[in-house]
Structure 1
């Protein structure tokens, strides 16, 4: 259960950082837009792992012999991607919003912008859904947890984004990346220990 909570928190960090930066860039953002955006972020974070799980299940017979290694690679890749994005953005413009995404300071009240951000921040959850499939976990409970945690974190990010500031948004992405890499390592090490 703790591992699932950590995965959920790690995956929600991109969406959380977008929420923080959106609130910082749009100080007069209405609460109804915050709730709508948080819901859409949470929904796509719930939906994408299910899609990933079904994709992984379709190819499970081909990847069973390397399932734990693949889970490690997917989680480590997602975590590393988060860290690299933060590092690149920090080098490019230390004073900018934390996401590094060109949509980061656009009008979050726009449905099109929110949908684009929700999809963009949930792509990583697709890969994690595949990793759940290859290690034989069910999809619905993890997906529900990921969606719920993302919704809550996004609400916190929107409602307190002005106070949390840019550095905290970046810090959240760094923590999320490290957590996902650590869980991937844990899965790989457990498999290697069992094989001995």
Structure 2
């Protein structure tokens, strides 16, 4: 009987050990299964959030690009209007200066041309609405003689103000002595 008890104890011990081993293995299996299930659910949610975020970002990016394109077109339109107004202002300034009586050598070479106050006002309005720099307007007034007496080199400051307004770079007209072309040799107009 001593052996039967020992066998019984041994079987109980083996059974308990096996049960503990099976319990450990089952616990490890289910823990791993739960971790994998949670990881899988987490991965699905992360991918869903990534997809939603990408869609929002793509939509915002397209909207941003569209706004930038629209702004670029508006700026291009504004620049074209500004350029046309500046070129018209230069033409009007030349006409105004051509009609002025100059002291000195230029008096005999003045070419009289028509200048219309309405055209000057329209041009001034276009400059005022499209230009960014106050010097452009003040130099336009000055070259027309509205701010006091002028001389032939006044056009240099106006040309350079327009170059600056149109972002055409540095001043290039530095010859103040022969800045305004009053006549070409042989021109009798």
- Fold equivalence (TM over 0.5): no
TM-score of the superposition, structure 2-length normalised? 0.28
RCO (CA 8 Å, sep 6+): is it higher in 1 or 2?
1
Higher helix share: 1
TM-score of the superposition, structure 1-length normalised? 0.28
Decide which structure has the larger Cα Rg and report it.
Answer: 2
